[in-house]
Amino acid sequence: MHFLDQAKIFIRSGAGGPGAVSFRREKFIEYGGPDGGNGGKGGDIVFEAVHGLNTLIDFRYTQHFRAPRGKGGSGSNRTGAGGEDLVIKVPVGTQVLADDEDRTLLADFTEEGQRVVFLKGGDGGRGNASYKTSTNRAPRQHGTGWPSEEMWIWLRLKLLADVGLVGLPNAGKSTFINAVTNAQAKVGAYAFTTLRPQLGVVSHKGREFVVADIPGLIEGAAEGAGVGDRFLGHIERCQVLLHLVDANDEDVATSYRIVRDELEAYGEGLVDKPTILALNKVDMLDEELIAALSAELAEASGAKVYPLSAAGKIGLEPVLDALVAQLHHQLVEDEGPAEPIEWSPL
């Protein structure tokens, strides 16, 4: 399945059905009179976040969504049938944006089962029976039904993951996610092997969490260089970042600062997220060089550095322990400490 994280679509709710013009002619009812019923209401456009979707690829082939209009009223004061609501199913994490210069956020789907009535269908028109008055006993006017609403919108998917992987191209992010999850990300000995985000689930010491791998960042990504800038939105919702630095880079401190500068330039609070820093690809280095590079990276970042080799599956346990501990810390901060349980003997 191809990954698509944004799409432009056209939506239109259903128009209201017209009211009827009708007159009754019954044998034992003197004079008769108008009995035209009202038109039915048009269908609404409803968005719903559902489980099991992680791409917007369906919207590449279907770009126009129109809810059915209401049916017209009829005689004997019968109201027309209403048009069925059109439910558009989107992945959890989808944002609905206006098609304007600022891409105004209109709706954000962060929970499974969340539903939003986006465009309301038009109300049905009045039948001629509703126009009857003491001075207008045989009205022939009727309502044509309220018009539909329509607009172009953008759908943008921001993946929901607990941990986001960041780093320069070829820092070993795909190898790492393959080593700790069931993902099967493409790995190659060249930059930008990852061209679209990847998700994987880590099971570690009784805890499960989702990891997102995005294409590598290069200097100037925030201004449009490379492909990583477009996908930074997928880690906006992550609670923790795992920053991988290639131990084979000419200057690991510079590599670290390039990525941090791009996160800061992008904004959205990415640079302020809790970050675990790891020196990757240490399996081909001796202990003395690993210690020297770790010290250099620690001095540049002011953070603890975890040496590891995703390919050799070396040093993964301490990194996963740190991620689990940080996720637990974030959970306590968000929800607050649990209240103590009072115990008393029977």
100 is in an annotated binding site: no
196 is in an annotated binding site: yes
168 is in an annotated binding site: yes
∠ CA(243), CA(211), CA(94), 5° rounding? 110
279 is in an annotated binding site: no
How far, rounded to the nearest angstrom, does the alpha carbon of residue 85 sit from its chain's CA centroid?
22
309 is in an annotated binding site: yes
DSSP 227: T
213 is in an annotated binding site: yes
170 is in an annotated binding site: yes
Contacts of 81 (CB under 8 A, 6+ apart): 17, 40, 70, 71
In which element (H, E) is residue 34 found? strand 33-34
193 is in an annotated binding site: yes
Strands 305-307, 275-280: pairing kind: parallel
Measured CA to CA, the distance from residue 57 to residue 94 in angstroms comes to 13
62 is in an annotated binding site: no
> Which CA distances in Å does 214 have to 61, 198, 233, 319?
25, 7, 10, 19
- The region that residue 32 occupies, defined by phi over 0 for left and psi between -120 and 50 for alpha, beta otherwise, is left
Burial category of 296 from C-beta neighbours within 10 Å (exposed 0-12, middle 13-18, buried 19 and up):
middle
Could you count the other beta carbons within 10 Å of the beta carbon of residue 195? Answer: 10
Measured CA to CA, the distance from residue 63 to residue 301 in angstroms comes to 46
173 is in an annotated binding site: yes
7 is in an annotated binding site: no
The residue among 333, 328, 339 whose CA lies nearest residue 206 is 328
321 is in an annotated binding site: no
Strands 240-246, 275-280: pairing kind: parallel
36 is in an annotated binding site: no
> Which CA distances in Å does 334 have to 54, 65, 206, 280?
26, 38, 21, 31
249 is in an annotated binding site: no
216 is in an annotated binding site: yes
Burial category of 101 from C-beta neighbours within 10 Å (exposed 0-12, middle 13-18, buried 19 and up):
exposed
145 is in an annotated binding site: no
128 is in an annotated binding site: no
167 is in an annotated binding site: yes
215 is in an annotated binding site: yes
97 is in an annotated binding site: no
Q: Which residues are annotated as a binding site for Mg(2+)?
A: 174, 194
**Binding-site residues:** 167-174, 192-196, 213-216, 280-283, 309-311
Binding site members for GTP: 167-174, 192-196, 213-216, 280-283, 309-311
